[in-house]
Amino acid sequence: MKRIGIIFITLILIASCSHDKYPLPTIPDAEDRYSNIGKQVYNLIHPVLDAENGYSFNQPSDIYFGVDNFVYVCDTDNNRIVMLDAGGGLQGESGYIEHPEAITQTDSLALLIVNKTNEIYKIDLFKYDHNIKNAPIELVYQQISEPTRQFTGISVHNGFEYYVTVIDIADSNTNYLEFSFIYDFHPNHKLKGTIPLYVNGTGLFSAILPTSIISVREAYLDISGRLEDTRAFLFTQTGKTSLLYNSFKVQYISTTLFEGQEVLVPFTGFIGTDVYSSGYFWNPEDIALDRQGFIFVVDAGATTVSSDSILYNPGFFRFSSSGTLLQSVVGFGSEPKKFNNPKGIAVSPFLDDQLVYVADTGNNRIMIFKLSTD
């Protein structure tokens, strides 16, 4: 009788262990197994630099993390440059400069500024002991022969030389006249020449309404004097007119040696990657690099849907040095972590405790973000 009972219990246990009734769990692929553990996201650092917290920005259009570790804001409709410490504390304000739009800094700590005219301005901070209020604003270049040219972006390379992105508003409605340029300047502010891009091209090594530029030197400052001397750069562009369209809205212009000379060439290594994709950007306004070669792009977005577009939300994107999208913070609005026509982005140099600064132009504020796994 005991033997029959044992056999009966054994049959029940076998039946209850049927794979048809209770299938084993599927083990996910290695790349998905820990996808939600330690995932890096950008958190907003408080307080936001806005009127509610004592700041009076009016359409800030650019922001730059300086060689001197101060942060500089083109406070466009207040006609001034605002100097902040890395944490956002106010350090000073410049004198009057009409509608500053883009800013960079030389190795001698002088600020160079453009303002969508054909002029370039300089503020010599070193000479005036970093007292930006007392430092005069000098006009160092004016292209009198081209009154319809507008300088939209600026970036130092080789320590004191610099690039300027340029559009000609008189010719921007044509498909045969050249109306988009990148100028190269000597340290003494004399125009060296124009980068020989393809005129009104729709592919790499061509620009249609460029909006910003950043020298690859930014990835090597204080690390390698040799690499810091590179002429390579990245630029952003609107990339479209009523007649033309260029889908490569972020472009990397690299260098190669030709007959012993360093020449600029289109970088093709990003083809097929996210940073060259047409799916992320509608109107990229600014670009930044850190010391690790990560690429940061802020896009003003499109807040209305046209017949030839989808709704592109404004915000910023972070890409690896190989062009892969790592993080993004996007969304239209005035709430925290939302944007309205953002036009400027800057980043502190190193990955440890790195901060990302965004000029949220339409909301009259600066937002600061930190990458976190919390």
In a domain, 218, yes or no: yes
In a domain, 21, yes or no: no
Write the pLDDT tens digit of every residue in 185-234.
999 999 999 999 999 999 999 999 999 999 999 888 754 455 667 899 99
Question: Does the N-terminal peptide bond of residue 47 adopt cis geometry, omega within 30 degrees of 0?
Answer: yes
The pLDDT value recorded for residue 352 is 86
What's the rounded Cα separation, in Å, for the pair 354 and 131? 26
The pLDDT value recorded for residue 40 is 84
In a domain, 9, yes or no: no
**SS3 (DSSP) at 347:** strand
In a domain, 300, yes or no: yes
Distances (CA, A) of 82 to 133, 166, 335: 10, 24, 24
Amino acid identity, residue 176? Y
Closest CA to 89 of 114, 109, 69, 62: 69
In a domain, 32, yes or no: no
In a domain, 279, yes or no: yes
Could you tell me the CATH number of the domain that includes residue 75?
2.120.10.30
From first to last of the 374 residues of the chain, give the pLDDT tens digit.
545 444 444 544 444 444 444 444 444 443 333 344 446 899 999 999 999 999 999 999 999 999 999 999 999 999 999 999 999 999 999 999 999 999 999 999 999 999 999 999 999 999 999 999 999 999 999 999 999 999 999 999 988 999 999 999 887 777 668 899 999 999 999 999 999 999 999 999 999 999 999 999 988 875 445 566 789 999 999 999 988 999 999 999 999 988 888 899 999 999 999 999 988 999 999 999 999 999 999 999 986 655 555 568 999 999 999 999 999 999 999 999 999 999 999 999 988 889 999 999 999 999 999 998 66
Alpha-carbon dihedral angle through residues 275, 280, 285, 291, given to the nearest 10 degrees: -30
- The range of the structural domain enclosing residue 143 comes to 49-372
> CB-based contacts of 278: which residues, under 8 Å, 6+ apart?
247, 248, 249
In a domain, 70, yes or no: yes
- The structural domain count of the chain equals 1
The pLDDT value recorded for residue 171 is 77
φ/ψ of 335, rounded to 5, equals -75, 170
**SS3 (DSSP) at 199:** coil
In a domain, 203, yes or no: yes
- Regarding pTM above 0.95, the answer is no
What's the rounded Cα separation, in Å, for the pair 256 and 194? 18
Structure tokens at 279: 């799916």
The pLDDT value recorded for residue 306 is 56
